[in-house]
Amino acid sequence: MSDIEQYMLELGAQARAASWEIGKATTAQKNSALIAIAEAIDARPEDLLAANKLDLQAGTDKGLADALMDRLELTPARIDAMIEGLHQVAALPDPVGEISDMKYRPSGIQVGRMRVPLGVVGIIYESRPNVTCEAASLCLKSGNATILRGGSEAIQSNRAIAACINFGLEQVGLNTHVVQVLDRIDRDAVGKLITMVEFVDVIIPRGGKGLIERVSEEAKVPVIKHLDGNCHLYVDDGADLEKATAVALNAKTQRYGTCCTLESLLLADSVAAELLPGLAKKYLELGVELRGCEKTRKIVAAVGPATEEDWAAEYLAPILSIKIVAGLDEAISHINRYSSQHTDSIMTQDVNRAQRFLREVDSSSVMVNASTRFADGFEYGLGAEIGISTDKLHARGPVGLEGLTSQKYIVIGDGHVRK
């Protein structure tokens, strides 16, 4: 057995043992731990900044791209946000142990469901060191043990954050193995993490598509994954065009780089001629490149041609594809063909077409008369978000504390036997 394999098995066994402990911890204990971690960070933010400085220096030496360097950096404001986040998670209701649907059955037994932690959650992420704190706090509150594998470029920052987390766990008498940060960041360590089914119950990769595809491809442990966000807005026949304009602009331009940013606009034939010229003008003023179907280009000459690739693209950039469709049916089939099943929205005043869109569009978030930018755990009221799932099993859409738990059946009898 290789050295790294032995290290990982030890870590896994420790996580499993810690998961029994945190799974039965009281709400008060878990909240105290979260507050203690926040206080540990608040007491010596200079430790985090010093560790982060080492990572930044190494990053500069390696010539990391600016965007990566930005994500890597911890500032006093970002540290304050981490502390605030810990307090917010402590304030959220504890999902663990919640009993629902208790019913008496004809046999006389009572049957219901109890919400329970998943066990051990492995998180694999890239440069942002604040993910260490966010992910650990959500797993802790939901009664799970966590193994965190951050990016190699953030290793000093992650170690410093882990020290605060361990200090907080110790303060309230919890096993420090509840949160373990991988100190060995070799590729082999990840390979082992995603295959040791006896010790890890679920893997959540957070990062670029390459990372997520590699993890999904090689994992034996179930993965909650988030691939593309190719989001659509369809403006229906008879939609309120003023509202449609506002939502279309917001969904595309409020932020270009998020997974719920609009990437493709569909217009009913009947509204295109009236809506498009004004809307296109505003997009172009904001610097958005437009690529459209032939009909679109006949209405607005400044629109470039869209290819088959454009319909499937997640640009994450100031580019938008536009297609004119006959109506709702064509819109739904276009979306179900090209969408990445993340978030799709309709602008309509017709209640039955709204209902059809909600039911028939097979995406994790489906909206009526609202900007796709609302697809977010905080906006949905989950309190926090460990990721957004584009899977169909277990959890779809933003994943909060509830998504880090499942439900077991509980049965209460009084000596009942099966006939």
Residues 361-380 that bind its own copies (CB under 8 A): 362-371, 373-375, 379-380
- Encoded one letter per residue, x for contact with its own copies by CB under 8 A and - for no contact, window 218-237 reads --x-x-x-------------
Question: Which member of 27, 29, 254, 270 binds its own copies (CB under 8 A)?
Answer: 254
Question: Which member of 215, 396, 400, 401 binds its own copies (CB under 8 A)?
Answer: 396
Residues β-bridged to residue 112: 410
Question: Which member of 39, 47, 360, 383 binds its own copies (CB under 8 A)?
Answer: 360
**CA proximity to 95, closest of 170, 35, 30, 37:** 30
Say how far apart CA 275 and CA 283 lie, in whole Å. 12
Question: Which member of 12, 59, 229, 397 binds its own copies (CB under 8 A)?
Answer: 397
Residues β-bridged to residue 266: 234, 323
**By C-beta, is 166 or 261 nearer to its own copies?**
261
Enclosing H/E stretch for 293: none
For the record, the structure tokens of 124 come out as 């694999």
Q: Is 122 a residue that touches its own copies (CB under 8 A)?
A: no
Q: Do 82 and 41 form a contact (C-beta atoms < 8 A)?
A: yes
Q: Is 209 a residue that touches its own copies (CB under 8 A)?
A: no
**By C-beta, is 41 or 244 nearer to its own copies?**
244
Say how far apart CA 11 and CA 2 lie, in whole Å. 14
Q: Is 412 a residue that touches its own copies (CB under 8 A)?
A: yes
User: What 8-state DSSP symbol labels residue 372?
Assistant: G
Q: Which stretch binds its own copies (CB under 8 A): 36-44, 56-64, 104-112, 286-294?
A: 104-112
Q: Is 359 a residue that touches its own copies (CB under 8 A)?
A: yes
Footprint of its own copies on residues 72-101 (CB under 8 A)? 97
Question: Which member of 65, 77, 301, 417 binds its own copies (CB under 8 A)?
Answer: 417
**By C-beta, is 12 or 129 nearer to its own copies?**
12
Say how far apart CA 235 and CA 331 lie, in whole Å. 9
Q: Do 348 and 238 form a contact (C-beta atoms < 8 A)?
A: yes
- In terms of phi and psi (left: phi > 0; alpha: psi -120 to 50; beta: otherwise), the region of 4 is alpha
Least separation in angstroms between CB 318 and its own copies: 17
Least separation in angstroms between CB 166 and its own copies: 24
Say how far apart CA 339 and CA 229 lie, in whole Å. 8
Q: Are strands 304-305 and 289-292 parallel, antiparallel or unpaired?
A: parallel
For residue 48, the SS3 value is helix
Footprint of its own copies on residues 13-32 (CB under 8 A)? 20, 23-24
**CA 80 to centroid of chain Cα atoms:** 22
Q: Which stretch binds its own copies (CB under 8 A): 49-57, 64-72, 280-288, 350-358?
A: 350-358
Q: Is 105 a residue that touches its own copies (CB under 8 A)?
A: yes
Q: Is 316 a residue that touches its own copies (CB under 8 A)?
A: no
Q: Which stretch binds its own copies (CB under 8 A): 82-90, 159-167, 289-297, 402-410?
A: 402-410
Least separation in angstroms between CB 220 and its own copies: 8
CA distances in angstroms from 414 to 101, 106, 138, 393, 411, listed in the order given: 19, 14, 38, 35, 10
